[in-house]
Amino acid sequence: MAVVALAVGSTFIGVSDVTPASLLRGGADSEAAFLLLASRVPRTIALVLTGISMSVVGLIMQMLVRNKFVEPSTTGTAESAALGLLVATVFLPEVSLMGKMLVAALFALAGTSLFLLILRRIPVRSIVLVPLVGIMLGGIIGAVTTFYAYRLDLLQTLGVWMTGDFSGILRGRYELLWVAFAMTVIAYLAANRFTVAGLGQQFTNNAGLNYGRLLIFGLVIVSVVSAVVVVTAGVIPFLGLVVPNVVSLMMGDNVRNSMPWVAVLGAGFVLVCDMIGRLVRFPYEIPLGVVVGVVGAAIFLYLLLRSPGRVH
């Protein structure tokens, strides 16, 4: 109910006069009704879908890697998707938005696989070292992307991709996020398998499941969702880290039980951050990725600094 209330409130926040009173006064053919259907409602739906999908894939990554401090922005996944989007823009300029998403998803899958390969070669995997490796890998991939974007005069475009911003979301520009939502539903159907995978490779194989196939399946979901969000709105940092950890503290690590709450809390968290970004400097707007990054980074540091006995 709180998330529904936030969604309704978000729909009526903005510079233009779009209020219940203006809608009743102008009718279905008014400018307010047009703005509501063409801009406000699509933006709210996009925020909800992004919050749900990114929070859920963060939970999946944490179960597969068996570390509470990983998510697409701390494993190089988001940066790899941005690199793929740059490659698609340069070499396939005529390809459709769906085609760019597929290229970005392939790069995201390759970047995440590289992260897992590096982890296997690290003899000591402390709970803090794992996300730091991912952040460093993401920094390297991001540096390569920035270099080529500079050489090709695409720095401004890259800046849009790397900063989650929903100000440009309109009808016809957000529908790809339904693909991310579909992948989230698929992840929920396989929730019990991800719970078993979180217990380790040996336990998973002994339970009659193929750990390798399950790992690939989870990485495909993570890669597609990350690519869709980057193509549609840009990178949203720490979202997939903060929300699953908060839910885990209250409900434990059973994926099927916690995933609905992760989805709901993720949607609410994104809506709150978006409303903050739209109201702090009204009528100007702070990009959602900046607000989520500040709040998420603070929570991330708090989780890192918790006593070792409580970290799991």
Tens digit of each residue's pLDDT (9 = 90 or more) over 5-23? 999 888 888 777 777 777 7
pLDDT of residue 195: 86
Strands (E), the chain: none
User: Could you identify the residue written with the tokens 């801009």?
Assistant: 39
Which amino acid, 190? A
Give the integer Cα–Cα distance in Å for 243 and 59.
8
Whether 308 shows a pLDDT value over 60: the answer reads no
Tens digit of each residue's pLDDT (9 = 90 or more) over 150-165? 998 888 888 888 888 8
- For residue 74, the 8-state DSSP code is G
Whether 262 shows a pLDDT value over 50: the answer reads yes
Q: What is the residue-averaged pLDDT of the chain?
A: 86
Tens digit of each residue's pLDDT (9 = 90 or more) over 127-150? 777 888 888 999 999 999 999 999
Query: Considering only 73-82, 202-211, 270-279, 299-308, which range has the smallest mean pLDDT?
Result: 299-308
Do residues 36 and 99 lie in contact, with contact meaning Cβ atoms separated by under 8 Å? Answer: no
Work out the angle at residue 202's Cα, subtended by the Cα atoms of residues 197 and 204, and round it to the nearest 5 degrees. Answer: 35
pLDDT of residue 125: 60
Whether 34 shows a pLDDT value over 90: the answer reads no
Q: DSSP labels for 189-251?
A: HTHHHHHHHTT-HHHHHHTT--HHHHHHHHHHHHHHHHHHHHHHT---TTHHHHHHHHHHHHH
Q: Quote the tokens at residue 200.
A: 């380790």
Whether 191 shows a pLDDT value over 80: the answer reads yes
Going from the C-alpha of 19 to that of each of 5, 270, 275, the distances in angstroms are 15, 22, 16
